[in-house]
Amino acid sequence: MGLLKRIRARTRDEPLPTGRQTAVNSRYSSTLSPHRSRTGDVLKTLRSIPEETAAVEFLKRVNPDVSMAVWNFVRLANQGHEMNFYGLDGKKRTDLDDKWREFAARVNEISNSGLDGLVDQLHYSSFLLGAMGVEVEVTPDRKDIYDIYPVKPQTIEWELKEIDGRKTWVPYQYNEHKKVYLDRKHANFFWVPADPDIGDPRGTLNLSPVLQAIDFQMQIFQDLQAVLHHQGYPKIDVSIDIEKLFAMCPAHIKNDPKKLTEWMDDNVNRMRRNLESMEPDSDYIHTSDSTINMNQGANAGRSLDVRAINELVDTQTLSGLKQMAIFMNRNTGITESWGTVQF
């Protein structure tokens, strides 16, 4: 209703601009491929992205926690809407309901999801990108709205200009290398920033704090992977009796230090190859010069409290994502009833 009031108020003073002024494509390419490339080293790629919004968008695609947070917010924020029309006499009009349904179904043509899909995109833009921006394209006869286009906030820049004797921030966008102002005289552009700072119309990137938490989380996961591979899996402790091995050595090799070293290395390497090539159901068969000890190789006395580390990281991640634990599958240690109370 606020959008319609602003449009109606402006028509009393000046005619509405017609047509579309914002860029149809904010990318350099004029084609879109259905294929999307994978990222091999996610943490390395994240640390190479200098701009915060680009880093957050990247995490939304590759990190389960950030993806889940965006999924939750978009679906919980859109609770549906109810539109009523009233005449000048204050009485409710029902003859416009069909026209409204037709309008709500045809806008946001690019996604074929109608007004509900547009609301989802605006919620997504506010939560992930820090603001909501749309342009309303009015038909040339100014009797209808052709479509409503969501605009990515990161394509909007601001310039401090003096208009009618007052300095104000004016949004603009580069459209095919041309600077296009999106003020009221040139476009039907509407902008709602998320938690803006004083004197700054750009809005706040609310997910910016999660970048450090996710960076730490990914680093911890990599470190834990290395620790688990090194300490978490059972190992075999094999000792070789050098004296017995030396006694088995041929006489013509014992007197040659170089050949003796090579002969010793060959025997140790043969033992290693035999153990590495064993089948899971094979038994150990070896000579008396070697001893296999299964009790010392499993690192039973050394352990790492992974749960405590995860709880530390989870606290930072959930705070940065503005989510409750129950929404992020962090319900360990609580009952189902208490989880429902949290919601």
| 22-45 tens-digit pLDDT | 887 655 567 778 888 888 888 999
Residue 217, pLDDT above cutoff 50: yes
Mean pLDDT of 246-270: 88
Between the alpha carbon of residue 13 and those of residues 7, 10, 266, the distances in Å are 11, 5, 95
Q: What is the pLDDT of residue 298?
A: 47
Whose CA is closest to 313, among 73, 127, 63, 72?
63
Q: What is the pLDDT of residue 320?
A: 80
Q: What is the pLDDT of residue 27?
A: 55
DSSP H helical segments within the chain, as ranges? 2-13, 42-47, 52-62, 64-77, 97-106, 114-124, 210-227, 242-248, 251-254, 257-276, 306-321, 336-342
Residue 334, pLDDT above cutoff 70: no
Which of 71-75, 93-97, 98-102, 237-241 is least confident? 237-241
Mean pLDDT of 153-157: 93
Q: What is the pLDDT of residue 343?
A: 55
Q: How confident is the model at residue 297 (pLDDT cuts 50, 70, 90)?
A: very low
pLDDT digits (tens, 9 = 90+) for 157-212: 999 998 888 899 999 999 878 899 998 888 999 999 999 999 999 999 999 999 99
**Secondary structure E strands in 130-257:** 131-138, 145-150, 157-163, 166-175, 178-181, 189-193, 237-240
Q: What is the pLDDT of residue 276?
A: 82
Q: What is the mean pLDDT of the chain?
A: 83
Q: How confident is the model at residue 151 (pLDDT cuts 50, 70, 90)?
A: very high
Contact 118, 105 (CB under 8 A): no
User: Can you read off the two tokens belonging to residue 148?
Assistant: 């409503």
Q: What is the pLDDT of residue 1?
A: 47
Instruction: Give, for 324, the enclosing helix (H) or strand (E).
Output: none
Residue 306, pLDDT above cutoff 80: no
Side by side, the strands of the sheet bearing 166-175 are 157-163, 166-175, 178-181
Contacts of 72 (CB under 8 A, 6+ apart): 323, 327, 328
Which of 59-68, 157-166, 269-278 is least confident? 269-278
Would you kindly state where each structural domain of the chain is located, as residue ranges? 2-26+40-204, 209-233+301-343, 236-297
Of residues 110 and 343, more confidently modeled? 110
Unique residue bearing structure tokens 């989802």: 120
Residue 122, pLDDT above cutoff 70: yes
Residue 234, pLDDT above cutoff 50: yes
Of residues 28 and 312, more confidently modeled? 312
CA distance between the termini of the chain: 29
- 10 Å Cβ neighbour count for 99? 10
DSSP H helical segments within 63-145, as ranges? 64-77, 97-106, 114-124
